[in-house]
Structure 1
Amino acid sequence: MKVITYNSKSQSFELIAGSTRKVARVTGVSLPGETIPNPNNTSENYSLRATDLGIMWDATTDPAKKKIMIAFGDSYDDGWCGSGGGGDPAGWRGSLLAISENSDVENGLKITRMITEDENPTYAKEIIHSEHDVSGNGDHTAIPTAGITVGNRHFIHYMQVRKWGEPGRWDTNFSEIAFSDDEGQNWVKSGVKWGAESKFAQAAYVKADGFVYMLGTPSGRMESAYIARVQEQSILDKNQYEYWDGSEWKRDKEEAATPVIEAPVSELSVAYNSFYKKWIMVYLNEHRSAIVMRSSSSLTDGWSDEVVLMTSQDYPGLYGGFIHPWTNTGRDLYYLTSEWGPYNVFLMHSTLDIKQ
């Protein structure tokens, strides 16, 4: 796999985005009058009627058979309540995983398979166990926030939610890394954790220069974004993490981390665009009710102003914004978003250009 390198000197241009279109459904059942493709039929094939997020990363372990993994959040079968998250507890799963070998996403993202229960290959299984304690004092759910593959091992950063609060706010007990050594079939909770008040309750992963970079935000949708890094081989050694303080890296000192993007940032993803030689960041700005993008030649500084990709005026209940890892070699930006009402995941496309 090609190693990405970058320098901290900002290029003289910024990126903007042209027209945005909804390409296809990724999950759920097509609504009456809906004309976009629905290539996966997840309700029938995997008992996945409603879900959100859709965090993607290159999970290739065999160069002859490339694949991405797609992690979903709280998910429901046909017992879904019909509006937003919620439904029959018997069909509630806090984290599901799909695998896609589809490299041409112009007309939709096709799921090759999902991780399913051993005894029922048409029922997607919860990959990271949660007690689903809805009291507000325990383990309400375990939600994936980022994923990455290093060597033959897959990693998911997830947040263990204690309770959901007012819109855009929630509390976690902790966040943790889980890993899989059998291509996502089973996941082990590593014990590598960030506390309830951490700046890295939610994360986005990218690899560069032999490091895994972790951009993080605290719980909820109202806070700033921070950055840490760790050598790839040390991803499960929390003492080896370095945190950016605005001028240098501080090992094992999360308290030194200073914002790289000011609030509000939530549910962010980051990818490197080799055509423009820019890092691209996509996230929800809760105050603007918009999915926005920034670009930079460096992960730690020089981020452009926000560029609006789409708003809740056109897509009510909009959130997320997870970049497809295989589509960053030209002017195309493909990413997944969620809509609260239909509570499903959709593939979006925007066209990138240089700001004049």
Structure 2
Amino acid sequence: IDPYRHLISTSWQKPEHPAIEITSPHWYQKESEFESDVATAHQIERWKPFGKPIIFGEQGNTGQNWDERSALRMRLRSWSAFFNEGVLIFWNTSGFKDYRNESAANLYIGPEERGYVRALQQFVRDIDPDVQKVTVAVSDQSRVRVYGLRSAKSFAAYLHNFSDHEKPTTGLSLILDSPMSGVGIWYSPATGQVIQQMPVPSGVQTLSIPPFVVDIALKIQVSQTSGTQDLSAQQSTKVHYVPGSSRKICQLTGEIDRERQQPTLNQTESRFGVRGTDLGSSFKHNGRVYFLFGDTIGRRGGDSIAFSEDADPEDCVALQFVTGPDGLYLPPRVPGIRLGAFEVPTGGFSHNGKMYVFFTTDHSEQKVMGRSILARSRDNAQSFEYLYDVSRDKFINIAPVIVNNAEVPGLPDSQGQGLLLWGSGTYRKSDSYLAYIPLNAVEDRQALRYFAGLEPNSVQPRWSTNEPEAVPLFAHPCIGELSVAWNPFLRKWLMLYNCGNPRGINFRVADQPWGPWSSAQVLFHPWEDNGYCHFMHVSWASRRCDSVHDPGRENEWGGEYGPYLIAHYTKGDEMRTMIYYVMSTWNPYNVVLMKSVLEVER
């Protein structure tokens, strides 16, 4: 039927037809939320006899697309579907909450609903795809239903307190057969937070279930002490994003703030010839904060570098650009290194009065950003010297941070200062990696050491001289641009990066540079945090809600990327921190200054 050999389905179920390879029924219902999990299980079991994958092509409510319990029903259905080997595609009607249809009223999917889906996505990300349903027992089946999945590499369980959604459960236990020893992680489907962790041996055993109100989930992961590992599974997320706190402070570059229709503070086109640019990784050098901008639309092309002496970013940041004799921006040049499109500065640092900058180069149709190099400037970015190739593999985009070695036990050196390098490899398809080099040996590539996991039966990091031995800090292969900084108020390392799943600017925290890193949380979502239809363009082919696009790009979507922390501006106290960062918006092609708030869980 399909010459491209795609899987064949229809928008209405025809599972008995031999050419149909995916069963895709429609299901609309307004069941009691106390029955949502079992109603979902029954719907999936109905179609299993045909022996084909089950993806509900439409799922939603009957009667009305929203009511005060519909978000909870959606959450329970979603988790039950995963644990019963089915998939739900919700028929979204999110423009309003009063759409009525007795048979197919669709479903309102707003911030609460999206948060529930995001929590499920985080939970399932590292579960073995070969898991199958397995019987799991709970000590009180009159109050709680339980569903289980198991393979040789993973175990997961989901529990629903169908008897009471107001009072927490107490004194319950779970009887299971774990395929391996590892770390058991109790997880909240409502918030996406880790509730409790404990070591779990292999074999049949009984585990105490933490108190919960509506539902709770468990997964058991292999406890690895060396080699490739997802360290994020071993740490409870103790910091969370304050919903609604992410906001644009100002448009940092360009001539006109497209959203506010007024001149930008910096008016970079008339003053420096910079019409548009992106990125903006920053670092302190000689008393100023320097910003490394990427591909620049202007009179000279190339990239651009700016600096600021502002002490407070709350009302925007005044920029001066590194310029030539004519007053126009001066693109950085490194002798012998091509710096064209996608060949950009990604991070920098200062040492002994000299500026050091990591650049990407060797961009091609086969590989975005093929190589990274380190360059040095002795004249505040007026000129650069090539020092050495850094990587063609796992450290293409690089986020450098200077540390006092004595304050970070476990580094290769215990005295003096060092430079930590967080890196990513294949563009926007990479995990994150870590390397270290003594600051006084930063011009010697042979001094680089790569984090290669933990020593056996230990929490001490292992360092290797070989880049191929570098292991991911966590499993999330979507990373390209990234930034990392020590947050002195949270007393944690904070990492930002853009990702497609979950969509938006993601963040993680860790007590040590190598982790364990927390699960990913979304810091900025383009719809939920007033990006689209405000300062990020929505394609006119989809809807007309803004006019912030660049000329001739009416039908091209904007997008969020390049979240670079400005560590110098961080504020807060021991319970809350205000972070400031730049973010690129693609269309319009410029950089905005952002602010978000993170809190320690009380």
Aligned match of 2:498: 284
Give the SS at the match of 1:207.
strand
**Cα distance change on mapping 1:303 and 1:116 into 2, 3 Å:** same
Aligned match of 1:67: 288
Aligned match of 1:124: 329
Write out aligned runs for 1:189-204 (5 A).
189-195=386-392, 198-204=393-399
Aligned match of 1:355: 601
Unpaired runs of at least 5, structure 1: 1-7, 78-89
Range 151-160 or range 35-44, more displaced: 35-44
Deviations 1:124-160 (A, max 9, x none): 0111359998xxxx96553111111122111111110
State the Cα distance separating 1:289 from its structure 2 match. 2.9
Aligned match of 2:368: 171
Give the SS at the match of 1:298.
coil
- 249, 260, 271: which one aligns with 1:23: 249
Quick one: which amino acid aligns to residue 114 of structure 1? F
- 375, 381, 384: which one aligns with 1:187: 384
Cα distance in 2 between the residues matched to 1:337 and 1:32: 15
Q: Are residue 264 (structure 1) and residue 478 (structure 2) matched?
A: yes
Give the SS at the match of 2:480.
strand
**Structure 2 length normalisation: TM-score?**
0.50
- Give the structure with the higher percent helix: 2
Deviations 1:7-32 (A, max 9, x none): x9x99762112211000011002245
Q: Are residue 38 (structure 1) and residue 264 (structure 2) matched?
A: yes
Deviations 1:21-56 (A, max 9, x none): 000011002245516872111011110001000111
Aligned match of 1:242: 449
Indicate the percent of aligned positions where both proteins have the same amino acid: 25
Unpaired runs of at least 5, structure 2: 1-230, 406-416, 455-460, 532-557
Q: Is the 8 A contact 2:569 2:579 kept in 1?
A: yes
Aligned match of 1:309: 523
Give the SS at the match of 1:103.
coil
Q: Is the 8 A contact 1:202 1:218 kept in 2?
A: yes
**Cα distance change on mapping 1:29 and 1:132 into 2, 3 Å:** farther
Aligned match of 2:96: none
Aligned match of 1:255: 468
Cα distance in 2 between the residues matched to 1:252 and 1:71: 29
Q: Are residue 326 (structure 1) and residue 539 (structure 2) matched?
A: no
Cα distance in 2 between the residues matched to 1:338 and 1:234: 33
Cα distance in 1 between the residues matched to 2:483 and 2:441: 22
Q: Is the 8 A contact 1:312 1:318 kept in 2?
A: yes
State the Cα distance separating 1:341 from its structure 2 match. 0.9
**Cα distance change on mapping 1:150 and 1:32 into 2, 3 Å:** closer
Quick one: which amino acid aligns to residue 175 of structure 1? S
State the Cα distance separating 1:91 from its structure 2 match. 3.6
Cα distance in 2 between the residues matched to 1:96 and 1:37: 21
Cα distance in 2 between the residues matched to 1:341 and 1:300: 35
Give the SS at the match of 2:281.
strand
**Cα distance change on mapping 1:220 and 1:173 into 2, 3 Å:** closer
Count of residues paired in the alignment? 317
- 498, 503, 514: which one aligns with 1:300: 514
State the Cα distance separating 1:287 from its structure 2 match. 3.0
Write out aligned runs for 1:151-166 (5 A).
151-163=352-364
Cα distance in 1 between the residues matched to 2:466 and 2:370: 20
**Cα distance change on mapping 1:102 and 1:241 into 2, 3 Å:** same
Q: Which structure is richer in relative contact order (CA contacts within 8 A, separation 6 or more)?
A: 1
- Give the structure with the higher percent strand: 1
Give the SS at the match of 1:142.
coil
State the Cα distance separating 1:252 from its structure 2 match. 2.1
Give the SS at the match of 1:233.
helix
Deviations 1:274-295 (A, max 9, x none): 1111111111113333001111
State the Cα distance separating 1:352 from its structure 2 match. 1.4
Q: Is the 8 A contact 1:271 1:328 kept in 2?
A: no
Cα distance in 2 between the residues matched to 1:181 and 1:319: 30
Give the SS at the match of 1:116.
coil
Give the SS at the match of 2:472.
coil
State the Cα distance separating 1:235 from its structure 2 match. 1.2
State the Cα distance separating 1:115 from its structure 2 match. 1.0
- 322, 327, 333: which one aligns with 1:115: 322
Cα distance in 2 between the residues matched to 1:256 and 1:284: 25
